[in-house]
Structure 1
Amino acid sequence: MNDTVQLTFDGDVATLTIDRPDRLNALNEATLEGMADALDEARGEARVLVVTGAGEKAFAAGADISRMAEMSVEEAHAYCEQGHAVMNAVESFPAPVIAALNGYAFGGGCELALACDLRIASERAVIGQTEIDLGIVPGWGGTQRLVRLVGDETARRLVFFGERVDAQDALELDLVSEVVAHDELDEYVAGMAADLAEKPQFAMAAAKEAINEAHEMGQREGLDFERRLWSSLFGTPDQREGMDAFLNDRDPEFE
């Protein structure tokens, strides 16, 4: 990890903070490398991961345009591969990932939010796939994840026009699931993360994997995958504790 990314733990909740507030948390190669290292460190340790940006203005204002402007095709390909690897690692992280959108989330920042499981926005957040006005297209998964989240035509509009939408409009478009007051965002997300951290770890990882696979498989294959996954949880500490707690009318205490 490097000084552009911070990883902190509060019990079972890890927070990954992109720490380039002077550049609106733009995602250059060093930052992507730091994020990859942080995700590796948090994997297996965190029951919930929160992703956010340092400062008061930005979650992540996108890829680093000053760097991209000088790239050759070969360098652009390598940068794209690096970005995809990080977004895929967020999407496949074996625990819920919450994006705490505290400000601008443009381009690659929007794509980072899309790779998370849940998106909670400050009332000051502004979100957009803005690449078209740079003469490029989303390159870290935006054309694929955005369609699945908001539907085909809405995704086309956001990408074609490069629209920047405020938090309330993002809520109406299903880009985010909730909007909260800016000064309440950290506390609200911390409470949500704490609640999720109390859920059964094995079952939560299985639930996330099954939902992710729904985007990759046809329904028949997905139902078969779910059946096998469901059965495999029997005999785990999660299943034994959860059902024993239910039968004995007590709150479960998952490992």
Structure 2
Amino acid sequence: MTSEDLVVETEDELQIVKLNRPKVLNALREKTFTELATLFDKFASDPHRKGLIITGVGERAFSAGGDIREMMQMTSREAERFGRLAHRVLKKMESLQKPVLSAVNGLALGAGCDLAIACDLTVASERAIFGEPPPSIGILTPFGGTQRLSKIIGPKRAKYLFFTGETLDANTAYQIGLVNKVTKHEDLLEETKNLAHKIFTQAPIAVGFSKTLINSSMSKMLEEGDKLEVELYAKCFDTYDQKEGMKAFIEKRRPVFKGE
């Protein structure tokens, strides 16, 4: 199956989903999340598929983040609706009783980083770059990044990434526990498939239960934090800084923020 936003391939027990907007570095938009929701529902009920891999089309990006041109047109109410959609889709993915792996083939920024780390396991190409730059365009992430990132790498490191906009290379991401494995770029997909097949040798019900229990250990905190994250994300769209930040990004210039 191929659409504007996704390429879906099957290899025996494995399903591979490729984010398919390489001209815009696989930017995630509302349509992308809607298609992912449908795909996850079908995958959950497919007895022939034991696991899923998410990666990006092209050599440059897994996903460089949300679609800024789409977000520029949103009101705060529309932004809140978009944030809630994204949260529902990622929670749907986390609730799957089958493993979901991300194969990060390049840039994983903002929403792209959030999607990658929401997967059960993350394998990164040596060229992968991770970061949380939304404050540099006047917003925060509405995709669960503030919550998941702080749980995975700790609040101090998470704050540093959000506050400064600095990025992490693949090896640094591995050292701090953000990714599970780093591979040569050309071996990324094959190594991720090998990891999936290694998981398939385990008892699938026990693997699914393990996933549920590990996720449940932080689900209540995530639920409360996610709700606040979406609310504050939407509030950003009522600010001057959001409009200036996104306009400056499109115009390829440094934004002039006013704190209003």
- TM-score tier by shorter-chain length is 0.7 to 0.9
Query: Matched residue of 2:97: which SS?
Result: coil
SS at match of 2:17: strand
- Determine the C-alpha separation between the residues in 1 that align with 2:89 and 2:166: 24
Aligned counterpart for 2:89 among listed residues 79, 86, 90: 86
The offset of 1:213, in angstroms, is: 1.0
CA deviation profile, 1:101-156 (whole Å, cap 9, x unmatched): 00110000011012111111000100111111011112110111011100111111
Equivalent residue, structure 2, for 1:238:
none
TM-align CA RMSD:
1.5
Counterparts in 2 of 1:217 and 1:85: CA distance versus 1, 3 Å: closer
Normalising by structure 1, report the TM-score. 0.82
Corresponding residue for residue 191 of structure 2: 188
Cα separation, 2, equivalents of 1:203 and 1:79 = 34
Q: 1:133 aligns with which of 127, 132, 136?
A: 136
Structure 2 regions of 5+ residues with no counterpart? Answer: 222-260
SS in 1 for 2:212: helix
Q: Does 1:32 align with 2:71?
A: no
Question: Which runs of structure 1 show a deviation greater than 3 angstroms over 4 or more consecutive aligned residues?
Answer: none
Q: Which amino acid aligns with 2:112?
A: G
User: Rg bigger for which structure?
Assistant: 1
Please show how residues 34-73 of structure 1 align to structure 2 within 5 Å: 34-45=35-46, 46-73=49-76
Whether the aligned pair in 2 keeps the contact of 1:126 and 1:165 (CA below 8 Å) is yes
- Structure number with higher relative contact order (C-alpha < 8 Å, ≥ 6 residues apart): 2
Q: CA deviation at 1:86?
A: 1.5
In the alignment, structure 1 segments of 5+ residues that lack a partner are 219-255
Letter in 1 for 2:125: S
Counterpart residue number, 1:22: 23
Displacement after TM superposition at 1:3 (Å): 3.1
Q: Distance in 1 between matches of 2:220 and 2:141?
A: 24
Distance in 1 between residues matched to 2:114 and 2:153, nearest whole Å: 13
Q: Which amino acid aligns with 2:61?
A: A
Q: Residues 185-231 of structure 1, C-alpha deviation per residue, up to 9 Å, x if partnerless?
A: 1111111111212322211111100111111369xxxxxxxxxxxxx
Q: Which amino acid aligns with 2:146?
A: T
CA distance in 1, matches of 2:31, 2:95: 21
8 Å contact kept, 1:87–1:111: no
Matched, 1:143 2:121: no
1:166 lines up with 2:169 in the alignment: yes
Pairing partner for 1:116 from 106, 119, 141 = 119
Q: Report the number of matched residues.
A: 218
Q: Mapping of 1:231-242 within 5 angstroms? A: none
Question: Which position in structure 2 is the counterpart of 1:6?
Answer: 7
User: What are the superposed Cα offsets for residues 134-184 of structure 1, whole Å, 9 maximum, x if unpaired?
Assistant: 111121101110111001111111111122111111112211121110001
In the other structure, the counterpart of 2:251 is none
